[in-house]
Structures are given as C-alpha cells and as structure tokens.
C-alpha cells in the first residue's frame, strides 16, 4: 500500500512539473519544446486517470489530458504561423493572475420550478425552509437571526433529479444560475485552477441573487488523503476560503450548491458549519412521484387504452426518474420504427412498455441505498 501511494504521489508531481514546463515554453513561443512537455504531461494524466479513486475524478483527469493533447497539436500549427500569432493560453493579468473567464462562466435563468419536479415534497419543504423563505423574507429572517445564502449539498443515487432541483431553486428565488463542471474549473487555461474558483465566486457576487452549482462536486473537492495532486492541494483551500467569505448579511445573496452520487468521497472540511452544512438527500421517486413522471413522459404521446399508469407505477418501484424517462422514450420507439418500416400507425401499447421494462433493470442497485442512509446519519 505504501509503495502504491508513493507511485501516485510521484506521478502527480511529475505531471505538474511537465505541465508547467510545457505551458512556460508555449507562452515563450518555443513550440517544439512545448509540444514534447505537453504530450508527456498528457500521458502522465492518462495514467493517473486509470488509477483514479472515483469515476468522476477519472473523467476529470481524462478531460485535462485531452486539452493538453489539443494544445500540443496546436504547437505544430504555431511553429509555422506568422510571428505575432496569438497563443491560445492567455497571459496573466498583472493584478488578477489569470485570463478572462467570461467564455466558460455562463449565467443562466432556469425556467423549471418545483411544480415541474415529480414528488420530493419533503425535500422541497426542507429547501423552502432553509433556502427560499429567508431570501424571500429577508427582514423577517434578519429579525430572527436567520442567515441568507450558504452552502447546500444535494446527494443521492444517480438520475434522481439533483441538477433539476438546483435549477428549480434558482427559478423559485429568481436567482442567476451558474452551472460549472469540475473539468471546466480544473483544466481551463491548463492551470490556474484556484484563480478560476475565485473568478467564479466573484462573478456570482456581482449578481443580486445567485446560485453556483457544481455537479460531481466530489471530483473538485475530494478527500485530500485520496488525491495527492498539488492542484487539489491548492483548489480545496481556495473553495473553503470562498465559502468562509460569504457575507450572509449583505443584500446580495449567494448560494453554493454541490451535487454528488458519492457524498462519502467529499473532503470532510466541506461539510463543516458555514460550508456545505445543509445536506439534502434526493432519493428514488416514491409512488406518487413515479405516477407524475409517467404522466410527464408518456401522457402527451399516443397511448393505447390498455396503458395503465397505476400498474406501471407499481412495476417501476426502484427505478430513478432518469430510468423512467428512458423507458418512455424506448417504448415510443417501438411503434415509431414500425411506422418507418411501412406498417400502419398505432399507439404505444402496454405490452410495448412492459417489454422494455422487462429488459431493463433499475440503474440503481438496492444494495447501494443503505450507504446513503449511513451518510445521512454519520456524514461518512
């Protein structure tokens, strides 16, 4: 075990060294040297992706490797380009240490609200109490010492609607929504990750009300003992510093929301008071929620008279919202393909849906669910 840990540590140190040399040579115009270093750094990151602790971390490593290879390929073009050609890596500004982030920090105003989310009524009530009402009634909140803004962790099995819930919160409070992936923060400009974090929070603070939402947040803030990258050693403290810097008495309210399928992989410091201290479990849909999901995804399509949502609702226990949407789409494809092949049009029948269900087990294993309950009780 000790030997393996040492190997990963050396690999991350080697990656950082090669990347730094490649970026430095690129900015200096030495594209031949830059290409060599960048390719070696990308190969190192691919190796790290293969030994990553989580799937999300592996995908993030692969994204960084892909951008480095793209940059290395660009070196061949720049070697033969007229002098004065603009490199794709921007030079640091003297005062802020990074390029313009406006191309990847995207502001959005979601149009989906709580009424568009099936079930999860207890979750909605909890979010209203902890997040929405204090923002809608700031004077009353101030009178009773209720803080504005803060951090919220949405966790649960994949496909249960965590991203939709975050967008719905933004819609309910009419907040600007910043949806960022870990790969964007960690790989943009091939470095400067902690400065990207600062720019993201600064952009959010410029809005009257804003929500920063990061999916697969465990890839950005993993348990530090499981990822010895020097990048992570800088990024985690930067995020913690930004969260500590919330001015919850200011007129500008900022919410930080993270979503994860693996909450136990998060750095424990992120779950302390003042950070992602509000934990909301987004579980599998219950009976009424499954019924509404069936209405959402099937009711507007041509259905045969034998389609019984009540029977389907019982049969789909244990399926996620994403599962149910996929089943509806695939069921509709059966009569569609028949029509394309020259047969007479017909509606979706009950046997079409049941055939798809029989061939498709739930994406979430029942054996995985107890661990979410354990996390809810212990935070681990």
Closest C-alpha among 252, 193, 192, 243 to residue 220: 193
Closest C-alpha among 271, 257, 279, 105 to residue 167: 257
Is 319 in a helix, a strand, or coil? coil
Fold of the 2-79 domain: Methane Monooxygenase Hydroxylase; Chain G, domain 1 (1.20.58)
| Alpha-carbon span 372 to 260, nearest angstrom | 11
What is the tens place of the pLDDT at every residue in 21-47? 887 777 777 888 888 888 888 888 887
Quick one: pLDDT band at residue 105, thresholds 50, 70, 90? low
CATH class of segment(s) 287-363: mainly alpha
Q: Compute and round to an integer the Cα radius of gyration of the chain.
A: 24
Q: What is the pLDDT of residue 273?
A: 73
Q: Give the residue-averaged pLDDT of 234-248.
A: 66
CATH class of segment(s) 107-284: alpha beta
In the chain, what are the domain boundaries?
Answer: 2-79, 107-284, 287-363
Closest C-alpha among 296, 261, 256 to residue 282: 261
Is 85 in a helix, a strand, or coil? coil
What is the Cβ-side half-sphere exposure of residue 19, based on CA atoms within 13 angstroms? 26
Domains 2-79 and 107-284 share a fold: no
Tell me which of 136 and 324 has the higher pLDDT. Answer: 324
In degrees to the nearest 10, what's the CA dihedral of 131, 132, 136, 139? -30
Look up residue 222 and give its DSSP letter: B
What is the tens place of the pLDDT at every residue in 139-156? 888 888 877 667 888 999
What is the tens place of the pLDDT at every residue in 256-297? 888 998 888 887 777 877 677 788 888 899 999 999 999 999
| Alpha-carbon span 9 to 49, nearest angstrom | 13
What is the Cβ-side half-sphere exposure of residue 122, based on CA atoms within 13 angstroms? 8
| E strand map for the chain | 107-108, 150-155, 176-180, 209-215, 253-260, 278-281
Q: What is the pLDDT of residue 85?
A: 46
Q: Six-digit token pair at 97?
A: 């240490």
| Alpha-carbon span 185 to 246, nearest angstrom | 20
Q: Give the residue-averaged pLDDT of 242-253.
A: 60
Percent of the chain with pLDDT over 90: 18
Q: Give the residue-averaged pLDDT of 232-250.
A: 63
- According to DSSP, the β-strands at 253-260 and 209-215 are parallel
Crossing angle, helix 287-298 and helix 321-340, to 10 degrees? 30
Closest C-alpha among 366, 280, 367, 282 to residue 322: 282
Mean pLDDT score of the chain, rounded to an integer? 77
Q: Six-digit token pair at 168?
A: 């719905």
Give, in order, the Cα–Cα distances in Å from 40 to each of 48, 75, 185, 309: 13, 14, 22, 56
Contact 243/254 with Cβ under 8 angstroms?
Answer: no
Exposed e or buried b for every residue in 285-301, given b needs 16+ CB within 10 A? Answer: beeebbbbbbebbbeee
What is the tens place of the pLDDT at every residue in 63-81? 777 777 877 777 776 666 5
What is the Cβ-side half-sphere exposure of residue 52, based on CA atoms within 13 angstroms? 21
Quick one: pLDDT band at residue 82, thresholds 50, 70, 90? low
The string of DSSP letters for 288-313 reads: HHHHHHHHHHHTTS-B-TT--HHHHH
The torsion region of residue 258 among left (phi > 0), alpha (psi -120 to 50) and beta comes to beta
Q: What is the pLDDT of residue 236?
A: 67
Tell me which of 262 and 223 has the higher pLDDT. Answer: 262
The three-point CA angle 375-130-116 to 5° equals 90
| Alpha-carbon span 368 to 26, nearest angstrom | 46
Quick one: pLDDT band at residue 359, thresholds 50, 70, 90? very high
Is 201 in a helix, a strand, or coil? helix
């Amino acid at each position: 075990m000790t030997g393996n840990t040492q190997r990963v540590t050396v690999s991350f140190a080697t990656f950082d060294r090669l990347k730094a040399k490649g970026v430095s040579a690129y900015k200096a115009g030495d594209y031949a040297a830059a290409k060599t270093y960048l390719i070696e750094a990308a190969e190192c990151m691919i190796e790290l992706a293969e030994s990553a602790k989580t799937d999300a971390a592996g995908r993030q490593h692969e994204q960084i490797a892909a951008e480095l290879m793209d940059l290395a390929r660009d070196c061949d073009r720049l070697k033969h380009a007229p002098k004065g050609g603009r490199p794709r890596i921007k030079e640091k500004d003297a005062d802020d240490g990074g390029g313009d982030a406006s191309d990847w920090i995207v502001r959005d105003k979601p149009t989906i609200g709580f009424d568009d989310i099936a079930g999860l009524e207890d979750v909605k009530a909890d979010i209203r109490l902890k997040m929405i009402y204090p923002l809608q009634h700031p004077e009353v909140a101030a009178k009773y010492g209720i803080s504005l803004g803060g951090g919220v962790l949405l966790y649960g099995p994949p496909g249960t609607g965590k991203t939709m819930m975050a967008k719905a919160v933004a819609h309910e409070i009419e907040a600007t929504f910043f949806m960022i992936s870990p790969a964007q923060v960690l790989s943009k400009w091939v470095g400067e990750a902690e400065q990207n974090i600062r720019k993201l929070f600064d952009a959010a603070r410029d809005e009257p009300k804003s929500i920063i939402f990061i999916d697969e947040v465990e890839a950005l803030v993993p348990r530090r003992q499981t990822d010895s990258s020097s990048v992570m050693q800088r990024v985690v403290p930067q995020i913690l510093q930004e969260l500590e810097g919330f001015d919850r008495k200011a007129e500008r309210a900022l919410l930080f929301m993270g979503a994860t399928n693996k909450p136990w992989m998060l750095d424990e410091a992120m779950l302390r008071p003042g950070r992602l201290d509000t934990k909301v479990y987004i579980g599998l849909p219950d009976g009424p929620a499954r019924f509404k999901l069936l209405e959402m995804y099937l009711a507007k399509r041509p259905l045969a008279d034998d389609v019984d949502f009540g029977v389907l609702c019982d049969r789909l226990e244990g399926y996620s919202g994403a599962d149910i949407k996929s089943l509806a789409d695939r069921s509709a494809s059966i009569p569609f393909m028949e029509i394309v092949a020259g047969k007479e049009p017909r509606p979706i029948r009950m046997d079409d849906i049941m055939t798809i269900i029989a061939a498709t087990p739930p994406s979430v294993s029942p054996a995985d669910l107890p661990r979410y309950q354990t996390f809810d009780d212990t935070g681990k």
